[in-house]
Structure 1
């Protein structure tokens, strides 16, 4: 339906420069003041008359200003003050921009609108007007401008670059998807989670250091097929350590959207041969729930305002979708005459009203506690909140998970063009799909609607893409797909216009506080993002080429990188940790274990400046490591320690280390981290 080769928004002849857009002729400022927190800056807030477009600018003192701005692009149109909710540590966008001599630009991207071009037109208008204010404060000049955004904001960042001219000089899209990512990355993940939930402990044990390496051991045929399917789709197996926390991502929010676009699928899945649900012996058919009961009481809670921060400011790549689920402050729950069985599969289920004034209404189920069913959230549902008032005691309902089960294998019926090799597992030897196909591709429709165009690889300026190797939502291969599109456009100019850096041991979220999920497995990629912005500005403004691309290969959906920093390149240091000389040590209680970590930063990316140990699984890294440098540049180092364990058990000691381009151990915003784990079995 949306062809990126013919999409007019992607054609050079229609690039938007914003100079004569009548919608943005009259800017205004309603707040202009100096603020001292999180760092000293001049705050400017305003908008454009006759529009919903709003902006915030954060200018540094004139003495430190370097003639540029950074502009974050968020996954959904929301708050122009989002950065004010993240002012601690490495996540502080205002502090990073100001400390680097730049000003920060934020906008709500025009707010909600049916005009899909508004997101980049409004953002361009704000960027242009920020230059007017910069000249007013700092004197005549043209500030360089750089945009950056992750996940849905990555779609937008690329769209902005591909659809405009003369606005931004460069971009750093991060944790990006492809036009066919949604909902397919989530459906494949949830299908595997339903079948493998009880097997994840053994899967994880196999792939942890010192494990068997065979994550398929002990799985039955259906479980093995599910794990192989999602792995070939690109889900990084190491990310399963967070299976209890990652859930279904945005799938619950997306499911009503798919239902609206392709309603026939949810009937055909259960009736037409070739779909999993049509097989009565399938796990989907066995997990299907259509539990009929009666509402015995509608429970309306007391009217209470939610406490906590304004959700409109939570704009991180893992939080932004939740804005779409905002509802009234109070909603009812239902007491049921009888509840489904305790072991029923309730994830993603709906409450379907079968009788009474609200007959026909579908309500997402939250959970069932005893005989009380609470209401969940899903995009598109809360427009019908008024219908809840019509639900009465005595109404017949059904708790039904049919639609959610059907959605879990939707990706099998969305086989795209051959350049998406992860779908080869669903093609026969002639390249034809082995499963029935739907009449439309949902992914490109969602991507187009959210960003205003589909990625083509045609852009002006320079770009550094940052992608993580353990991304559970934007599978790592998707950055390579965009690299291939950029290569088609740039050809021999590729090395002068594009970089792709992979970051190991990082998930999808761009909020470092999420590392409390398991700091023993992951690090924040935000320092890499910050360094990319600084390197990008040097590249554009001074002609200093950034470090090389990460070297990698894509095999069966998995991005595989070389084992050493010299081979891998990019900008993240690489650690090789051993316990008694190997990745596993079997010892007795009180027996000293010798740990040695060799740390190497890629060429010309800085000095090793930090190292910390966590031996007992505390996730606090309480012991500072002693760094012994092995070369003059400080890019190669070794850290050694001994430790004994007082209790039996299996431990996974971790060393976390960081490098800094300027060799600064106090570097807050750009200290690039990595970690390495080993196994110690104490008997």
Structure 2
């Protein structure tokens, strides 16, 4: 079903719009806030209009990863402020709320977008505002679906950090399988990949460890993202486990019993890591009532947090006090609490963690059903802490070999193209994609699109954006450059939050300024025919996206830094000895000027030292930065130069400072 711009008047769910709030606000910038919905439905919307003097007849429509809140961006000042500063009003909706009908995602969103034009005409006179939709991760799935299932509603889109219909749960299963096997090897792997390292991340690994690292790399996980292995954890896999169990329940028995599955081998690491620990409940601890603040927080998470439901911990989540807990180094990640006696026998509850002799509940779909079952769980009931299902899920991707266009699965095919492992009769990924977005990506849409993908994305592997590009190419052929751009951003993970909030900021930069620039470039492309910068040049080799080292060859919009210390990416010096640093910063052609550069020499992530630019070309697109520094203490340091470019050469624009960084190694003896 394709929704045309004029169709929503025919949809009975969206014929009676209402407004319940209409007021001027001054935060984060001066704007007119209008909130409302549609009578007879759960659809709600929020509009943020600029003053008439600042309005340029366009809107930016943000799509969150999950349905639920029309006010999510009130927790993110950048989204609203950037829209207003770009001459646009800002649109957001709850996409109809949670519904068994996934097509409501794009039908409700289309109704909200179209009614925003009605309000814009009331405020600013008759006109049709241009509309641009954007969203990341799950919101990227939705953004593509909205474009592919509507005509004339939105004129363009910027999906970012996107997946494919085969992403879920496979990007997480392959990652967690590697993390379980390589848990003690990451320091050496990371060191090999750091500047001045050996470059051989397989050094020192046994056969199973090497196979696991090779497998996840060929599936597309970017190796340099392993620096954040503790922070990225298992992503959404714990949450997704019950969903896969519901769609393919027999798999979790087959895995441990049927030849061809890893768990059927009693000598495998999976069998050795399996835990089925029995104990007895001595007390049922019910959770404290969730505050409005916690509820709001659950609805306002970014692209890397949308799957989270409730914080763990005694008092915050339901828990049991038990007679005994496992001792020693046991693998409890993703385990379930199985009730094996009493009225609640047969109930499975996601495991959270162990605090002393208290076992807390974890986060997963179906969590609240478990909470409601607490009344029938009693002291004296026997339980088993069981990680069998979670371990089984970690190689699920081997049994989900899709069509040949997903080339990263070739490692699971023999020479004749047949799968090496037993295959499930049902592909979970497309079902999840459809359930979250109302359709499965096809690459067929009207309007123009810029896709933004990060090269260190641990959850939406970079090659997945290329998969979507091929679908668009199949649909539009030689007109691809008239309709589509793909920009890769280096040194960024999946999350759209500030790097310092999660990590040290010494490996990654925030890609959101590049996203903002993409929205501005998209509007200029649609409204004035201004061609945006060219797509990034790249190739996909064994699941890895490889880009040229020079900005002029790489293209896209992100600057590139080449940095050395004493002429190399690694240098060894004595305490107090001066180290000479030199960097070349280059901006891709016609994408702006270098506007800032800062140093961090000792890993404090403050970047408080402004760089001295010794040369800059006439266009401002190339610069040379030099510095000297001496280290007062022995140790291994990774000095970082961080730089930014801006399309207009404006260092004060808070929204579009496109950032990059580069690191070197200094060993001080």
| TM-score of the alignment, normalized to the shorter chain, above 0.5 | yes
For the 8 Å contact 1:253–1:325, the answer to whether it is kept is no
Q: 1:120 to 1:448 in 2, by over 3 A?
A: same
Specify which of 405, 418, 426 is matched with residue 412 of structure 2.
426
For the 8 Å contact 2:288–2:315, the answer to whether it is kept is no
Instruction: Map 1:331-410 onto structure 2 (within 5 A).
Output: 331-410=317-396
Q: 1:303 to 1:82 in 2, by over 3 A?
A: closer
Please say which of residues 289-298 and 77-86 is displaced more in the overlay.
289-298
For the 8 Å contact 2:601–2:637, the answer to whether it is kept is yes
| Secondary structure of 1:215's aligned partner | coil
Residue 179 (structure 1) aligns with: 165
Specify which of 147, 158, 163 is matched with residue 161 of structure 1.
147
Specify which of 560, 585, 603 is matched with residue 599 of structure 1.
585
Residue 150 (structure 1) aligns with: 136
Instruction: Map 1:9-20 onto structure 2 (within 5 A).
Output: 9=1, 17-20=7-10
| Secondary structure of 1:322's aligned partner | coil
Instruction: Map 1:41-440 onto structure 2 (within 5 A).
Output: 41-87=31-77, 92-300=78-286, 305=291, 310-323=296-309, 331-440=317-426
Is residue 449 of structure 2 the alignment partner of residue 463 of structure 1? yes
Cα distance between partner residues in 2 of 1:632 and 1:166: 42
Please say which of residues 305-314 and 655-664 is displaced more in the overlay.
305-314
Measured after TM superposition, the shift of residue 666 of structure 1 is: 1.2
Residue deviations 1:206-263, cap 9 Å, x none?
Answer: 0100000000000010000000000000000000000001011111111000000000
| Secondary structure of 1:173's aligned partner | strand
| Secondary structure of 1:386's aligned partner | helix
For the 8 Å contact 1:60–1:101, the answer to whether it is kept is yes
Residue deviations 1:381-438, cap 9 Å, x none?
Answer: 3223222122112111111000000000000000000000000000000011000000
| Secondary structure of 2:100's aligned partner | coil
Is residue 11 of structure 2 the alignment partner of residue 21 of structure 1? yes
Cα distance between partner residues in 2 of 1:268 and 1:514: 44
Please say which of residues 420-429 and 21-30 is displaced more in the overlay.
21-30
Cα distance between partner residues in 1 of 2:314 and 2:120: 41
Measured after TM superposition, the shift of residue 371 of structure 1 is: 2.1
Specify which of 649, 653, 660 is matched with residue 674 of structure 1.
660
For the 8 Å contact 2:550–2:560, the answer to whether it is kept is yes
Q: 1:329 to 1:536 in 2, by over 3 A?
A: farther
Residue 626 (structure 1) aligns with: 612
Measured after TM superposition, the shift of residue 299 of structure 1 is: 3.2
Measured after TM superposition, the shift of residue 593 of structure 1 is: 0.3
Residue deviations 1:550-599, cap 9 Å, x none?
Answer: 00000000000000000000000000000000100100000000001100
| Secondary structure of 1:444's aligned partner | helix
**Number of equivalences:** 669
Q: TM-score, normalised by structure 1?
A: 0.96
Cα distance between partner residues in 2 of 1:541 and 1:313: 34
Measured after TM superposition, the shift of residue 140 of structure 1 is: 1.3
Q: 1:106 to 1:304 in 2, by over 3 A?
A: closer
Residue 651 (structure 2) aligns with: 665
Measured after TM superposition, the shift of residue 681 of structure 1 is: 0.2
Specify which of 480, 504, 508 is matched with residue 522 of structure 1.
508
For the 8 Å contact 1:75–1:151, the answer to whether it is kept is yes
Cα distance between partner residues in 2 of 1:598 and 1:608: 11
For the 8 Å contact 1:515–1:524, the answer to whether it is kept is no
Q: 1:314 to 1:13 in 2, by over 3 A?
A: closer
Q: 1:243 to 1:306 in 2, by over 3 A?
A: farther
Q: 1:291 to 1:516 in 2, by over 3 A?
A: closer
For the 8 Å contact 2:221–2:544, the answer to whether it is kept is yes
Cα distance between partner residues in 2 of 1:97 and 1:61: 12
For the 8 Å contact 1:279–1:285, the answer to whether it is kept is yes
Measured after TM superposition, the shift of residue 518 of structure 1 is: 2.2
Cα distance between partner residues in 1 of 2:571 and 2:666: 5
Cα distance between partner residues in 2 of 1:328 and 1:133: 48
| Secondary structure of 1:227's aligned partner | helix
Residue 627 (structure 2) aligns with: 641
| Secondary structure of 1:373's aligned partner | strand
Structure 2: runs of 5+ lacking an equivalent: none
Structure 1: runs of 5+ lacking an equivalent: 1-8
Specify which of 11, 34, 38 is matched with residue 28 of structure 2.
38
Please say which of residues 386-395 and 302-311 is displaced more in the overlay.
302-311
CA RMSD across the alignment: 1.7
Q: 1:323 to 1:171 in 2, by over 3 A?
A: farther
| Secondary structure of 1:320's aligned partner | coil
Residue 467 (structure 2) aligns with: 481
| Secondary structure of 1:204's aligned partner | helix
Measured after TM superposition, the shift of residue 450 of structure 1 is: 0.6
Residue deviations 1:17-64, cap 9 Å, x none?
Answer: 434222211111111011111100010000111110000100001111
Measured after TM superposition, the shift of residue 324 of structure 1 is: 8.5
Specify which of 544, 557, 566 is matched with residue 530 of structure 2.
544
Cα distance between partner residues in 2 of 1:361 and 1:25: 44
Please say which of residues 335-344 and 449-458 is displaced more in the overlay.
335-344
Is residue 551 of structure 2 the alignment partner of residue 561 of structure 1? no
For the 8 Å contact 1:15–1:163, the answer to whether it is kept is no
For the 8 Å contact 2:192–2:201, the answer to whether it is kept is yes
Measured after TM superposition, the shift of residue 376 of structure 1 is: 1.1
Q: 1:325 to 1:591 in 2, by over 3 A?
A: closer
